[in-house]
A and B are shown apart, each in its own frame.
Chain A
Amino acid sequence: MPLALSPTAVPVVVDEAKCIADKGCTVCVDVCPLDVLRISDLTSKAYMKFDECWYCMPCETDCPTGAVTVNIPYLLR
């Protein structure tokens, strides 16, 4: 699994202003079937750690505050 260490464009984008992971929310991390989302130790917000997305969308659908956006590649739409 490739590690996303340098800032690159990943499909799952989290709006840090809306994310409430710092209050203890882990919904997106829990629902992801590929387990590629994490809560950042630096910002305490959710982010995509591994770029292995299947574009299955539960993270976006289940996020209680609507902070998660999954950018589906044009050719998959």
Chain B
Amino acid sequence: MSVFDPFEDFGDAEEIALRLADADPAVRRLAVIDLAEAASPDVLRHLLAAAGDSDASVRLQVAIALSDFGTADAAAGLAALVADADNGVARAAADSLAELKDAAAAPAVLPLATHESAFVRASAFRGLKGLRAPAALGPALAAMKDASAKVRAEALGVVAYLKREETLPSLIAATRDTDASVRAVAVNALSFTSQGAAATAVAAALDDENWQVRAAAAESLGRIGHASAIDDLTVGLADDYWQVRQKCLTALGRLKALPAVQEIAALLASDLPSLRKEAAAALGEIADPSTRDALTAHASDADPDVRKTVRWALTRIG
């Protein structure tokens, strides 16, 4: 028998838990760390008891430790800690809440959706998003009219993750939100559907005042895959921001936008290598023989990536 024991002994949970009653907060905090490492299910009870500790550093450690337990009890403990008076504890608990993946945790988190603090409401929806619990749909739809933009964005994420066609009207309404970050999330969220109404709403977002929303709209249109968006995307090729032009090119390539090939080919002469490359890639996707000459002219482009993509596009046209 070997003297070497490959399995480290992390100690008995009950023994460690005795230290939770110590007068020194640092000792209690270390006990929480040790309990989390003991990796046995019966430590959860002790951790939840320590969640009510008077010292913030102990509660912080509990908030971090609870992310390793996916159960409903742990979620309830985290739900209490998200509303903690200490900012550090609340933030750590919110991060741990977002790690939960089991839908069984949803009932513990749902009551927070109507909490008075905007941070708690936003954290609740951030946690609920990954759980994909159908029960969260109602509160999330209600929170899409919340006064705080952060809450609206997170609630939107919950609705979008459930991917229900019947929520489309709410998602489309959110593309006209007053806050740009919410509009960007909404536009991204609509990419799961192939409904014409969604394509129309996202195409309208190509005229948004915020360039990030416009870029998100172009990307989303490529995923929705509606040919009706080709005209709007072609207009987007003249956007002030190259990031938007680039996304429009990618989307047009995905849509196999035959009517737009001349406008795409014009961007092969762009100053920006990334745009030239994306234009060549889009032309390769569309593979229209009328663009062979324009592509051939760039077969010896100064940028190696552009050269490679142009040559690939030429092989596609044949």
Tell me if chain B binds chain A: yes
The answer to whether A27 touches B33, judged by C-beta atoms less than 8 angstroms apart, is yes
Q: Within residues 1 to 33 of chain A, which ones have a CB less than 8 A from any CB in chain B?
A: 20, 23-25, 27
Query: Chain B 16-57, CB within 8 Å of chain A: the 1/0 string?
Result: 000000001011011001000000000000000000000001
The answer to whether B33 touches A23, judged by C-beta atoms less than 8 angstroms apart, is no
Cα-based distance from A65 to B56 in the complex (angstroms): 12
- Provide the residues of chain B in CB contact with A23, threshold 8 Å: 24, 26-27, 30
User: B191 at the A/B interface (Cβ < 8 Å)?
Assistant: no
Q: What is the distance, in angstroms, from A11's C-beta to the closest C-beta of chain B? A: 25
The answer to whether A64 touches B27, judged by C-beta atoms less than 8 angstroms apart, is no
Q: What is the distance, in angstroms, from B32's C-beta to the closest C-beta of chain A? A: 9
- Provide the residues of chain A in CB contact with B24, threshold 8 Å: 23
Query: Chain B 296-308, CB within 8 Å of chain A: the 1/0 string?
Result: 0000000000000
User: B123 at the A/B interface (Cβ < 8 Å)?
Assistant: no
Cα-based distance from A25 to B57 in the complex (angstroms): 14
- Provide the residues of chain B in CB contact with A64, threshold 8 Å: 29-30, 33, 57, 61
Cα-based distance from A65 to B25 in the complex (angstroms): 12
Please tell me the number of chain B residues within 8 Å of chain A, measured between CB atoms. Answer: 8
Please tell me the number of chain A residues within 8 Å of chain B, measured between CB atoms. Answer: 7
Query: Chain B 264-300, CB within 8 Å of chain A: the 1/0 string?
Result: 0000000000000000000000000000000000000
- Provide the residues of chain B in CB contact with A65, threshold 8 Å: 26, 57
Cα-based distance from A11 to B115 in the complex (angstroms): 46
- Provide the residues of chain A in CB contact with B33, threshold 8 Å: 25, 27, 64
Cα-based distance from A64 to B88 in the complex (angstroms): 13
Cα-based distance from A25 to B29 in the complex (angstroms): 9
Cα-based distance from A15 to B57 in the complex (angstroms): 18
The answer to whether B27 touches A24, judged by C-beta atoms less than 8 angstroms apart, is yes
- Provide the residues of chain A in CB contact with B26, threshold 8 Å: 20, 23, 25, 65
Nearest CB in chain B to that of A26: its residue: B30
- Provide the residues of chain B in CB contact with A20, threshold 8 Å: 26, 29-30
Cα-based distance from A24 to B33 in the complex (angstroms): 11
Q: What is the distance, in angstroms, from B225's C-beta to the closest C-beta of chain A? A: 43
- Provide the residues of chain A in CB contact with B29, threshold 8 Å: 20, 64
Q: What is the distance, in angstroms, from B18's C-beta to the closest C-beta of chain A? A: 13
Q: What is the distance, in angstroms, from A13's C-beta to the closest C-beta of chain B? A: 20
Nearest CB in chain A to that of B28: its residue: A23
Q: What is the distance, in angstroms, from A5's C-beta to the closest C-beta of chain B? A: 29
Cα-based distance from A20 to B28 in the complex (angstroms): 12
Name, among A20, A23, A27, the residue most crowded by chain B CB atoms within 10 Å (CB to CB).
Answer: A23
Cα-based distance from A4 to B73 in the complex (angstroms): 48
Cα-based distance from A64 to B64 in the complex (angstroms): 11
Query: Chain B 58-86, CB within 8 Å of chain A: the 1/0 string?
Result: 00010000000000000000000000000
Q: What is the distance, in angstroms, from A39's C-beta to the closest C-beta of chain B? A: 13
A-B residue pairs in contact (CB < 8 Å), sample of 20 = A20-B26, A20-B29, A20-B30, A23-B24, A23-B26, A23-B27, A23-B30, A24-B27, A24-B30, A25-B26, A25-B30, A25-B33, A27-B33, A64-B29, A64-B30, A64-B33, A64-B57, A64-B61, A65-B26, A65-B57
Closest 5 CB pairs of A and B: A20-B26, A23-B26, A23-B27, A25-B30, A24-B30
Besides A25-B26, A27-B33, 17 more A-B contacts (Cβ < 8 Å) are: A20-B26, A20-B29, A20-B30, A23-B24, A23-B26, A23-B27, A23-B30, A24-B27, A24-B30, A25-B30, A25-B33, A64-B29, A64-B30, A64-B33, A64-B57, A64-B61, A65-B26
